Structure 1
Amino acid sequence: MEALAQYVTREGRPPGRGVVEVLPDGTEHRTGIWIGNQKARRDKLDAEQLAALTALGIDWA
């Protein structure tokens, strides 16, 4: 979520599938792939997780 929030704050939109976000601690996160995985497993996400994704502009959440 941190990588997604960082990207959306900077770019103003959700990332595409190939986006790799570098976090402040220097680690890389495949944010675009992560969103795809969340979408595929969205039936296992709870309401709080879906609300957090919706707040960051993920329209299917």
Structure 2
Amino acid sequence: MAALAQYKTRTGTVTVPRGHVETIVVDGQEHPVKLGVFLSNSKSRRAKLTADKLHALAALGLEWAAA
């Protein structure tokens, strides 16, 4: 979620190319996150996601998570 929020803040959109890797900093260490793959997999498996995860994704602007 942090990687998606960072991407949205930087680009102004939640449309992420499948091959995109977003680097986030946690406790002073950089961590690469395969954001495009994560979102693609999450969308295809949305029926198995918890309500909390779907709500968090929808709050960031992903329309498919709100449905």
Cα RMSD (Å) of the superposition? 1.0
Rounded Cα–Cα distance in structure 2 between residues aligned with 1:17 and 1:57: 17
Instruction: Say how many residue pairs are matched.
Output: 61
Amino acid aligned to 2:3? A
Match of 2:4 in 1: 4
- Shift of residue 29, structure 1, vs aligned partner: 0.6
- Shift of residue 36, structure 1, vs aligned partner: 0.4
Rounded Cα–Cα distance in structure 2 between residues aligned with 1:17 and 1:8: 15
Rounded Cα–Cα distance in structure 1 between residues aligned with 2:45 and 2:38: 11
Name whichever structure is richer in strand by fraction: 2
TM-score between the two structures when normalised by the length of structure 1: 0.89
Match of 1:20 in 2: 21
Match of 1:40 in 2: 44
**Whose radius of gyration is greater, 1 or 2?**
2
Deviations 1:9-56 (A, max 9, x none): 111111221211011121111101100010111001121111110111
Over 3 Å off, 4+ runs: none
Unaligned ranges ≥5, structure 1: none
Amino acid aligned to 1:6? Q
